[in-house]
Amino acid sequence: MSIVDLAGITLSIGAVTDRGLRRAANEDAMLTTGPAFVVADGMGGYECGDLASAAVVAAFDQHLSGLERGSFDAVHGALLDADDRVETVAASTTRGAGSTATGVVLIEHDGRPHWLVFNVGDSRVYRHLGTELEQVTRDHSLGQELVDSGQLRAEDLASFPDRHMITRAIGAVDSLADSWIVPVVTGERLLLCSDGLHGELGDEDIRAVLTMSGHPESAARVLVDRANEHGGRDNITVIVIDVVAGGATVVGAGTTEAHAMILDDDTLTV
């Protein structure tokens, strides 16, 4: 566990990555140095997935590590650079390479600290406040797209065989990132994870662990252990971030001084 102070925001961070029980290698990568926190999952079935995810993390490390706060321009630049780096990796393979990329970046918005949340693929960002869990990101997967279009019921998604087929990825033809702005709130807990976690554990299981676990490192380790207990069929990467001080205060039950919004005009285009 590490304690980080970024421009007056105190964060407690725990992170664990694990090969799982079925994969020969770990193709996940993560960045935990701030102000950018990133999880990347090398796409399954491709060669050099570990190199692709490492390339994504390296891009964000170069563009954002060492700063007190990030910016829209820095995140946009990191995504562009990540796409170029993954394309370079892909050029050395016979079948191509790709990676998901999801994360949160501490920025200033309207004079106050916010998270810029971004996502390409099916790695996820969750927000836990009190006992409530909210999935901030939306998967770029065939299963989710069928649910969104009304062709598949949400309750049938878990049993849909191609639910994890990725429809966007860094290094792919469609690498468009969705983005959101979320206020930084003292007492909140953020979870970033690859699909090796949410593919094994339902949201209620995740919520219970985040509610009951103490330090972020303990929560991250319990989540990974539970995913392995449920099969561990993929690599598992988890970052848990607690906002200890410096954020907004809670107004009423389960609400904050601002709300997350999709940035339709500021979508980060790669």
CA 213 to CA 206: how far, in whole Å?
11
Q: Which segments of the chain have a pLDDT < 70?
A: 1, 44-47, 143-149, 152, 154-164, 251-270
Task: Find out whether 68 and 105 touch, Cβ atoms under 8 Å.
Answer: no
Task: Find out whether 169 and 83 touch, Cβ atoms under 8 Å.
Answer: no
Question: In the chain, what are the domains?
Answer: 2-262 (3.60.40.10)
Cut 0.75: pTM above it: yes
Output the pLDDT for position 254: 37
Output the pLDDT for position 159: 63
Output the pLDDT for position 96: 84
Tokens 């050099």 sit on residue: 48
Output the pLDDT for position 261: 39
Output the pLDDT for position 221: 98
Output the pLDDT for position 43: 85
CA 59 to CA 3: how far, in whole Å?
23
